[in-house]
């Protein structure tokens, strides 16, 4: 997994049907890379999050084959 910080939210009205309805958050990783992750936890801007990537991200959704390759799986506790 990688650590990142939520920097905003993205909307995509025109989308494929199998994309889940959850929030798509812009996340900046520690090395500066920008990715977009699905957020099932209701995280907000500035929050430090734990992100999993690849096909395991899609496994969170049981009933659909979600085309998701990045998922927020936790909010990192402050030290």
Q: What span, in angstroms and rounded, lies between the C-alpha atoms of 45 and 52?
A: 18
Among positions 7, 15, 44, 45, the unique one binding its own copies when judged by CB under 8 A: 15
Yes or no: say if 43 and 55 are a contact pair by the CB < 8 Å rule: no
69 part of the interface to its own copies, by CB under 8 A: yes
- As measured in angstroms, the least distance from the Cβ of 12 to its own copies is 3
36 part of the interface to its own copies, by CB under 8 A: yes
Distances in Å between the Cα of 72 and the Cα atoms of 3, 10, 18, 47, 68 are 10, 15, 18, 11, 11
31 part of the interface to its own copies, by CB under 8 A: yes
Give the chain's radius of gyration (CA, Å).
12
Among positions 7, 30, 45, 63, the unique one binding its own copies when judged by CB under 8 A: 30
- As measured in angstroms, the least distance from the Cβ of 47 to its own copies is 9
63 part of the interface to its own copies, by CB under 8 A: no
């Amino acid at each position: 997994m990688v650590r990142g910080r939520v920097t905003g939210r993205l909307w995509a009205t025109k989308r494929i049907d199998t994309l889940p309805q959850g929030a798509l958050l812009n996340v900046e990783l520690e090395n500066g890379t920008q990715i977009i992750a699905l957020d099932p936890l209701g995280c907000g801007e500035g929050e430090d999050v734990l992100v999993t990537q690849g096909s395991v991200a899609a496994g969170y959704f049981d009933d659909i084959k979600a085309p998701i390759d990045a998922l927020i799986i936790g909010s990192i506790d402050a030290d």
